[in-house]
Amino acid sequence: MESYMGIDTNKKDWKYRLGAIRECNNTAAWAMAEFIDETPAAITGALLKEADPEGELPEEALYAALMAGISGIDGDDRELSDYFSRAVKCLDAAEYASNQYLTTINFPNATLGNWKFTHYHYRPYEAFIRDDIQVNEDTREIPQVGYFRERFTYPAVEQNGREWMAVKPSEIASMQPVIDVVSGNVLTFGLGLGYFTFMASEKQDVLHVDVVERDEDAIRLFTEHILPQFPNKHKVRVMKSDAYDFMTRMTGDSQDAYDYAFMDLWHDTADGLELYLKAKKSEAKLKRQGIGTTFLYWVERSLLSAWRWTRFDDIIATSQNEEEALTKLTDSALAKLAETYSSSAGIFPA
């Protein structure tokens, strides 16, 4: 029997069971987020050695167990402990350090007004988010947590002393599926430090990459210090515009048609869900106009997770059985539902 805080998640009442899974998701996600925010370096090589002097246990399993224990998870709660064991992975620092963007782009130690190029680092065994969440068929959501055995340094830009943007392992991993897919004429909304733009421009089957960015400082930092280092900078064009205004001007004319568009306007789900829903509605309008651009979204699984739990109670209430509910709770169904969302009226269609 699988249980969480006395809740039988195998119980025959499917509504009860799905509700219990939601509670497990929330508890695991909050526990991991709190660990990463407050005590990310609590686990060290010395602690792992002390906990397993003979090295008999798999390191990732031991790390996950220690992380769960420090997070206050009862060791006898096998279900919640399983979230941690599925989440944790030791990453290869050399593999990330050899990333083409990181080996090509040289970040100057320069300050430009309120902006500063700098580098941050992860300490050995420090925990961090490594990728977008994993979603199982039963709606269980597994955060993706990583660590390196050695110190890992990555580039960043600060604004007024606070991190504004960075090229972290999580960004590298979460953008890779999009980079693998795009080809032809590519449009991207949101510039950042140009990681996606660089990687897309390096693909032989990508002809052009147009970037839509509204922040003049971001454009200046990129065009003056980063873009000149691109091997294929001739493929890249940066346009100053609001993303949603630009979408209203998109047409299907051959001279400005895009095969793919990538939306990367948010830092995380906290500020991203409303932006995502707005973009999905605009995407649906473009489709109705006959524009065939394929739209892709950064960390879409995490955004759809937030959307899933916003819609959860209504979906459960209007579903006749578990199969119907699980179908409505899938990423594909939720992404379709997002196209009909009206933020101004606060309407969420049933």
CATH of the domain at 280: 3.40.50.150
**Model confidence, pTM:** 0.91
**Residue 161 lies in domain:** 93-130+141-166
Give yes or no: residues 80 and 125 share one domain.
no
**What percent of the chain clears pLDDT 70, i.e. is strictly above it?**
93
Give yes or no: residues 252 and 157 share one domain.
no
Q: Which amino acid is at 99?
A: N
Alpha-carbon distance 287 to 292, whole Å? 6
Give yes or no: residues 59 and 119 share one domain.
no
Note the pLDDT of residue 345: 42
Three-state SS for 133?
strand
The number of beta carbons lying within 10 Å of the beta carbon of residue 179 is 19
Give yes or no: residues 123 and 215 share one domain.
no
Domain-located, residue 346: no
CA distances from 328 to 273, 281, 316, 343 (A): 18, 18, 9, 20
Split into its structural domains, the chain has a count of 3
Note the pLDDT of residue 190: 94
More confident residue, 111 or 122: 122
The mean pLDDT of 295-321, rounded to a whole number, is 96
Alpha-carbon distance 299 to 111, whole Å? 30
Give yes or no: residues 44 and 191 share one domain.
no
The number of beta carbons lying within 10 Å of the beta carbon of residue 316 is 18
Domain-located, residue 249: yes
**Chain segment 34-55, per-residue pLDDT in tens:** 999 999 999 999 999 999 999 9
The answer to whether residues 201 and 209 touch, using CB atoms and an 8 Å cutoff, is: yes
Residue 348 confidence (pLDDT) above 50? no
The answer to whether residues 133 and 142 touch, using CB atoms and an 8 Å cutoff, is: yes
Domain-located, residue 176: no
Give yes or no: residues 285 and 186 share one domain.
yes
By DSSP bridging, strand 141-147 and strand 7-8 are unpaired
Give yes or no: residues 70 and 150 share one domain.
no
Give yes or no: residues 223 and 320 share one domain.
yes
Tell me the residue ranges of DSSP E strands in 35-178: 88-90, 111-112, 115-122, 128-135, 141-147, 152-159, 162-166
Alpha-carbon distance 276 to 266, whole Å? 9
Give yes or no: residues 47 and 103 share one domain.
no
Give yes or no: residues 317 and 209 share one domain.
yes
Give yes or no: residues 188 and 255 share one domain.
yes
Domain-located, residue 177: no
Domain-located, residue 175: no
Domain-located, residue 44: yes
Note the pLDDT of residue 327: 96
Give yes or no: residues 230 and 120 share one domain.
no
Structure tokens at 309: 């739990």
The mean pLDDT of 165-185, rounded to a whole number, is 97
Note the pLDDT of residue 222: 92
- Average pLDDT in the chain: 92
